[in-house]
């Protein structure tokens, strides 16, 4: 099956899908040409959107570092320390921002749109 490869194709397909949504309902038969076209274009638009607009999740690991906390991102040259969770979250966000400002071609982990997911390494807290 063909794919959408350019933004212009994507924009055209989105407009076409919007128009078809006005003509296709739940009662439209599966063999109806508009319904078939809607299903095909919707899948193409969804695939392109996922590839080009989807956010990925970046995992931030928070560990006990003795007298404070440290946070880092696997596969990214970003780390920080802080006295509590609120401070460590603020500091890692600032560290990421500084890294991105200084690196026009960032590492894969911090490339594109992403959300942060914080994970506490319980073992470092229990064994310290």
Place of tokens 């638009």: 45
Within 8 A by CB and 6+ apart from 56, the residues are: 112, 113, 114, 115
**CA pair distance 6, 86, nearest whole angstrom:** 42
The string of pLDDT tens digits covering residues 72-109 is 999 999 999 999 999 999 999 999 999 999 999 999 99
Give pLDDT, residue 50: 81
Structure tokens at 69: 């906390």
CA separation for the pair 13, 21 (Å, rounded)? 12
């Amino acid at each position: 099956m063909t794919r959408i490869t350019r933004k212009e194709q994507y924009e055209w397909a989105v407009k076409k899908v919007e128009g078809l949504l006005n003509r296709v309902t739940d009662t439209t038969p599966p063999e109806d040409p508009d319904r078939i076209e809607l299903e095909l274009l919707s899948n193409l638009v969804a695939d392109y959107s996922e590839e080009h607009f989807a956010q990925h999740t970046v995992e931030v690991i928070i560990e006990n570092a003795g007298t404070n906390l440290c946070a880092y991102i696997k596969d990214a040259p970003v780390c920080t320390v802080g006295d509590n969770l609120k401070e460590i979250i603020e500091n890692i966000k600032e560290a990421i921002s500084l890294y991105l400002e200084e690196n026009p071609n960032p590492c894969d982990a911090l490339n594109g749109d992403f959300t942060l997911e914080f994970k506490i390494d319980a073992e470092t807290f229990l064994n310290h």
